[in-house]
Structures are given as C-alpha cells and as structure tokens.
Chains A and B, each alone.
Chain A
C-alpha cells in the first residue's frame, strides 16, 4: 500500500516530522520531565520501548478490525489494548528485571496516556504501513522523541543558572526553548526525500 523506504520512514519520523517539535505530540512529558538530563534519558528510553510495543499492538488490532469490518472501534480498542498491554509489560519487567524496572518503571504508567503513543498508532494506520514499516516508524518516532527530550533537558539544565525575570521562569521559558528547537529541526526537512 505504501512504498516508502525504511530509511526514509525512520529519518522522517525521527527528524523531519519529529513527534514533539513538529506534530506537538507528547508535550506534557516533554515539558514535565525535561528539567534534568538523567531523567530525560530514562524517559526517552521508556517512550521508545512503549512505542515499539504499542506499534505492534496497533498493527494487530487494525488487522482484526479490518477483518471483522468494524473501523469505528479503532480508537476505543487502540487506547484500551495499548494501555492494558503496557501495564502487563510493566508487571512482567517488574518480575523479571528489577534493574530495568527501576530505570523505566515509574515512567511507564505515565507514558500510557501520552498522546504520542496513540498518535503513533493512528498515524501508522492512516499511512497504511506494513509490519516492517510500522516497526521502523515506531523506532524513528521513539528516537526522535528521546532526542528532543534530551536536547531540551540539556538546554534547561544550563538555563537554571541564568537569571531572568520571574514572569519568564518555568513553562514560558521552556516553551521559548522548544520553539527555537522546533525551528532548528526544520532544517532537517528534505532529508527523507
């Protein structure tokens, strides 16, 4: 259905159409968890992981829905299945790998209701990606999210030492930085052509 090459999908999802800076998906964690570099790195890893899981889920759900001819259940089943799968995975990680759980654990439930996850599932379905393409798309989107988050955290750590008027501090300055990052990312346009 969709003949895009895997490389082009990856570059487009990660850089050109970065989920945070171009599509505005996942702004809440982007502003909330970007104050420190270390948490940003972990959050980025957790998002990549959840994106991969939900991409696989969404692909399966879509096949089932198409087979039974019920496209109107797409949204409900995406959100319910993705949320429950992530919870299952969380329990599984807790049992099998405490180290990994400590690194990602607290972020997993937070991410489930992140719009980037649902957005990924909806976009890959709308674009008609096959299984391989969907996986690459999820990896690219996750990598792009992590990159944006880490860049943002780096800038904000430096900003902590800067003196600025009270009115600018907090969300306002974070948004300004995000705007500049977004402009910078526009320079990537055309890479995936």
Chain B
C-alpha cells in the first residue's frame, strides 16, 4: 500500500510523520466514540434481550442471566458469553420459566431463536425468531403466521423415567395433521423453514431440558440477590 519500495528519492520522514499522525488521530477518535457509545449499546442490547425473554415467558417480570459452569451447574452472571440461560421470575420472585437461545440452519441462512421453557408445566411456552433471512412472503411466515406461533404456547417436552432424555422428540408435521402435544403444525409453503424450527427446538431441548431439571434449584434460588 505504501510506496516505500521506490528509490529513496522522496523524503521518508514526512511519510512517517503523516501516517503516524493520522493513525494517532484516528485511534483517539475511535476510542472516544467506542467508549462513549459502549454503555448505550450494552443497554440497548439488554433491553432487546429483556423484551424477547418476556415475550417467550409471558408471566415473567424480571430476568436473571445464568451461565452453565463446568457443564453441570448454573451460576448467575451479569455479562457472560458462551452457554447462557435467562431465567424469568414473576412479581413474587418465583421462577416461571427459562429462556434459551438456539440456532441452526434454515432454508436460506442460519436461523436463531429464543424459546421459553416452563419447568412446572414441562412444556415450551413461547418462541420468538431472533434473526432469519428466510424468503419474504414464504419462509418468513415462521415469524408472522399466528397459527404456527400458536404451536409454541404449549409444546410438550416431558422427560422419561431416566430423567436424561425427552420422552418424545419434538417434530414438525404437515399443516393440519398435529395430533400429539409434542408435534408442531407446519406451514404449507414454508415446509423447510418450519421443519428447521422444529429441528432447532428438538436438538436444543434434548440438551437443555435434562440439565435444567437436574439443577433447577440453582435457578430458583440463585436469582434472588443477583441484580439483573
């Protein structure tokens, strides 16, 4: 990029001076803006997450985020990365459910979603697509079709006797043929997208539900004193 390979006819010092000068100026500008906007962006993200959590857990009024530690217990965190759960509490500080993020391949690109699991009812109680690039008008019905979204108001994810696997894996069936509580009524015209949602939920719930049930007390008690 710099033309320093030329014979040393042009003076080198002004080049260094200007490049370093501009570099420093730019660095100062960027750091100032980054520092100024960081708290606002963090607050925006937290608010967006909060809204999504309260959508998939209709009864929740407060959210506490937990991280999975050592693959076996949950600890409250304020800003973590990796495997995170969002526990929702109602006004009396009772755990009403756990919101889990999941993702996978859709029809056009990856889909990411958030779903709410209620340990008391042993069902999924809500689902919201966070990002998807599904075909407008067809595949994006997974975000807008009310009949489809109604599937996730009560989707059975009961565990079997061993407590480590689901009794029935979530599956997507053809539109209008849903007969069992663990089935999702698909969308005609968005078959692959609605099946993708089913597969994402099935894989994620098979992993998380046993973990959550085994360590439910971490979530129930952990949230009281930790500030969201």
User: Hey, which bits of chain A sit against chain B, CB under 8 A?
Assistant: 4, 8, 12, 16-17, 72-73, 76, 80, 83-84, 87, 127, 186, 189-190, 192-193
Contacts and interface: CB of A to CB of B under 8 A. Distances in A.
Given A76-B26, A80-B1, A84-B1, A189 B34 contact: no
B223 interface: no
Most chain B beta-carbon neighbours within 10 Å: one of A16, A73, A193: A193
27 contacts: A4-B105, A4-B110, A16-B108, A16-B109, A17-B108, A17-B109, A72-B30, A72-B31, A72-B34, A73-B30, A76-B30, A80-B1, A83-B1, A84-B1, A87-B1, A127-B110, A186-B135, A189-B107, A189-B108, A189-B135, A190-B107, A190-B108, A190-B192, A192-B105, A193-B105, A193-B106, A193-B192
A79 to B, nearest CB: 10
Contacts of B107: 189-190, 193
A193 B30 CA distance: 39
B196 interface: yes
Interface string B12-23: 000000000000
A72 B135 CA distance: 33
A57 to B, nearest CB: 14
A20 to B, nearest CB: 16
A127 B133 CA distance: 14
B151 to A, nearest CB: 20
Interface residues of B, number: 15
A16 B30 CA distance: 36
B82 to A, nearest CB: 9
A120 B1 CA distance: 20
Given A76-B26, A192-B105, 20 more contacts: A4-B110, A8-B105, A16-B108, A16-B109, A17-B133, A72-B31, A76-B30, A83-B1, A87-B1, A127-B110, A189-B108, A189-B135, A190-B107, A190-B108, A190-B192, A193-B105, A193-B106, A193-B107, A193-B192, A193-B196
Interface string B115-157: 0000000000000000001010000000000000000000000
Contacts of B196: 193
A16 B133 CA distance: 11
Contacts of B133: 17
Which of B26, B31, B34, B108 lies at the interface centre, i.e. has the most chain A CB atoms within 10 A of its CB?
B108
Contacts of B192: 190, 193
Interface in B1-45: 1, 26, 30-31, 34
List the 9 closest A-B pairs by CB distance, nearest first.
A72-B34, A190-B107, A84-B1, A83-B1, A190-B192, A193-B105, A189-B108, A72-B30, A189-B107
Contacts of A73: 30
A80 B26 CA distance: 14
B199 to A, nearest CB: 9
Contacts of B108: 16-17, 189-190
A77 B54 CA distance: 39
A16 B109 CA distance: 8
Interface string B186-207: 0000001000100000000000
A187 to B, nearest CB: 12
Contacts of B109: 12, 16-17
Contacts of A87: 1
Nearest to A1: B82
A80 B34 CA distance: 20
B5 to A, nearest CB: 8
A115 B30 CA distance: 22
Contacts of A16: 108-109
Contacts of A84: 1
A163 to B, nearest CB: 36
